[in-house]
Amino acid sequence: MSEALVLAAKAGVEPELVYQAIRGGLAGSTVLDAKAPLVMDRKFNPGFRINLHIKDLNNVLETSHELNVPLPLMASVMEMMQALKVDGMGELDHGSLVRFYEKMATVEVKR
């Protein structure tokens, strides 16, 4: 979701249009419907905090290492969450992940 909305914003396309297109297809979900409007409205009030994600991801990565199961995407997500924490966003909702992409693309997703 974050990547799609940031790409849309950078391309000059209204993120709302991309959200509507995605939600009507196989990528549509309850989570998308809950988070995309909040992201576009710049509402990052804590639901499930970045810091809690970091704790949970750390547990998953430790377990995967013990079991010799590589999880490269999980490790990448962990580093994104760590970057947000370093930027002072650890207590914000996990929807703030969009801000990681916004920073790299120098664009803001909004209605």
What CATH number is associated with residue 68? Answer: 1.10.1040.10
The closest alpha carbon to 90, from 53, 51, 37, belongs to: 51
* Percent of the chain predicted with pLDDT > 90: 91
- Domain-embedded: residue 25: yes
Answer with the residue of higher pLDDT: 94 or 62. 62
- Domain-embedded: residue 54: yes
The closest alpha carbon to 50, from 100, 18, 89, 83, belongs to: 89
Q: How many domains does the chain have?
A: 1
Give the pTM. Answer: 0.88
pLDDT at 47: 87
Q: Which range marks the domain in which residue 66 is found?
A: 2-105
Instruction: Count Cβ atoms below 10 Å from residue 111 Cβ, excluding itself.
Output: 11
- Domain-embedded: residue 63: yes
Over residues 15-64, the pLDDT tens digits come to 999 999 999 888 899 999 999 999 999 999 988 999 999 999 999 999 99
Q: Where are the alpha helices (DSSP H) in 24-110?
A: 30-40, 50-66, 72-86, 97-105
pLDDT at 27: 87
- Domain-embedded: residue 77: yes
